[in-house]
């Protein structure tokens, strides 16, 4: 006998129906009971490509008195449905992967707390009380982050007509903005991290530490960098050639062209000389694969722990993102101006530069000044400090 086709939803809620179409797709819908039909309920089409949302929608329809009406009133939309609607919108899809990941993390917490509640029922006092509770239980960073994500959802609800315009209950709550991290590394701490990475055989983690400190770029841009993004060029009007790194920054989407610091070139010499043009610059030595964000995070923790055990106890509170901030501190200490440092960090507006412009591009020259300003302390300087 021919086995019946496998159901998309193994344990469907009451009323959830599915049927295979002749073209191979599956129709998924909610069918009201006879009693619910008598009270005016009508079938509701669901989405076979969004099973979690479809199951949740069918469950909510079963809970509604009389079943789902032909047209639901906007005030009947829940936070769960609001999150579903926002995360399928064009606005959400245009966001960068790292931004979406942060929002998704917060949306899971919001679902757990407020999922079944109606969008229209929220008020400023409710949100103010939740903020205060989060502040006391989870800290000011988490409280601010969750309320900002909640505010984003309510702004989307206004666009959909699910709340009145200007009724966002998360606005003007008087939330405090925590001071940003100020931690920077010392040269000794950088050397300890690199040495620990080499001892563990995680040479690429040492590469990443050097790149972040001396080139001022984010973790995501470093671990996704391609060998072909690095090339040697001849500066017109200057003596000799320099190595450059062309990238599009993951956070802002702005382009940058960076001159490499001599220590970066020395550290990457083998990869620059022998790495495949179409491959990742950094590869995890244990797996032989490019890094994911999570895998690199685990490797960095291993390296930091090894460096601490080797005697560099001050690394206990060091995070990889602090190395990018260290670039700014080192270059400013070396005499670079704020604008030059900003060109490297990508915090100033940048334009997409074509290869034909690269040899004397203003952004390359200003960024080169910031990179070149970083110099290790000389032995006599250390003796003077002592």
- φ, ψ at 371 (rounded to 5°): -65, -45
Neighbours of 39 (CB within 10 A): 12
pLDDT tens, position by position, 123-163: 999 999 999 999 988 888 899 999 999 999 999 999 999 99
Residue 195: pLDDT above 60?
A: yes
Cα 103 to Cα 57, 152, 367, distances in angstroms: 22, 10, 32
Contact assessment for residue 246 and residue 255, using Cβ atoms and an 8 Å cutoff:
yes
Find tokens 């599915």 and name the residue.
18
Contact assessment for residue 322 and residue 300, using Cβ atoms and an 8 Å cutoff:
no
Token pair listed for 324? 């990018």
Kind plus residue range of the DSSP H or E element containing 17 = strand 16-20
Token pair listed for 87? 């995360």
Cβ neighbours of residue 42 closer than 8 Å, sequence gap 6 or more: 32, 68, 69, 70
All domains in the chain, ordered by first residue: 11-72 (no CATH), 77-177 (1.10.150), 187-377 (1.10.443.10)
Neighbours of 298 (CB within 10 A): 12
> How much of the chain exceeds pLDDT 70, in percent?
83
pLDDT tens, position by position, 286-297: 999 999 989 999
Residue 178: pLDDT above 80?
A: no
3-state helix/strand/coil string of 22-64: CCCCEEEEECCCHHHHHCCCCCEECCCCCHHHHHHHHHHHHHC
pLDDT tens, position by position, 259-283: 899 999 999 999 998 878 789 999 9
Residue 349 has a pLDDT of 33
User: In what order do the strands lie in the sheet containing 26-30?
Assistant: 16-20, 26-30, 44-45
Residue 329 has a pLDDT of 84
Kindly report whether the global pTM for this prediction surpasses the value 0.85.
no
CA-CA-CA-CA torsion sign (13, 19, 20, 26)? negative
Contact assessment for residue 245 and residue 225, using Cβ atoms and an 8 Å cutoff:
yes
């Amino acid at each position: 006998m021919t086995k019946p086709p496998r159901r998309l939803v193994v344990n469907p809620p009451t009323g959830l129906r599915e049927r295979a179409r002749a073209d191979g797709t599956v129709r998924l819908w909610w069918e009201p009971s006879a009693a619910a039909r008598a009270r005016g309920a009508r079938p509701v089409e669901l989405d076979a490509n969004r099973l979690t949302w479809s199951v949740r929608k069918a469950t909510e329809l079963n809970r509604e008195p009389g079943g789902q009406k032909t047209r639901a009133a906007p005030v009947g939309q829940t936070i769960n449905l609001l999150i579903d609607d926002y995360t399928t919108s064009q606005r959400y899809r245009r966001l960068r992967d790292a931004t979406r990941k942060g929002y998704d993390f917060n949306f899971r917490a919001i679902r757990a707390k407020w999922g079944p509640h109606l969008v229209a029922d929220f008020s400023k006092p409710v949100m103010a009380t939740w903020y205060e509770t989060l502040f006391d239980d989870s800290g000011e960073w988490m409280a601010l982050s969750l309320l900002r994500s909640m505010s984003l959802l309510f702004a989307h609800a206004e666009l959909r007509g699910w709340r009145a315009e200007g009724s966002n209950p998360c606005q003007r709550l008087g939330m405090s903005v925590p001071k940003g991290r100020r931690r920077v590394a010392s040269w000794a701490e950088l050397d300890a991290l690199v040495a620990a990475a080499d001892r563990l055989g995680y040479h690429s983690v040492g590469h990443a530490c050097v790149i972040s400190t001396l080139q001022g770029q984010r973790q995501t841009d470093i671990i996704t960098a391609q060998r072909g993004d690095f090339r040697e060029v001849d500066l017109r009007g200057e003596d000799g050639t320099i190595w450059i790194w062309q990238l599009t920054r993951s956070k802002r989407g702005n382009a940058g062209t960076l001159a490499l610091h001599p220590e970066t070139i020395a550290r990457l010499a083998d990869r620059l000389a022998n790495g495949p043009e179409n491959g990742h610059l950094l590869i995890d030595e244990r797996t032989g694969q490019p890094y994911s964000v999570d895998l690199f995070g685990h490797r960095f923790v291993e390296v930091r722990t090894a460096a601490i055990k080797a005697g560099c106890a001050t690394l206990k509170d060091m995070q990889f993102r602090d190395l990018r901030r260290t670039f700014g501190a080192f270059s400013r200490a070396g005499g670079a101006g704020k604008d030059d440092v900003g060109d490297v960090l990508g915090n100033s507006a940048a334009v997409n530069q074509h290869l034909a412009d690269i040899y004397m591009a203003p952004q390359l020259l200003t960024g080169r000044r910031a990179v070149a300003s970083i110099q290790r302390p000389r032995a006599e300087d250390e003796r003077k400090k002592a």
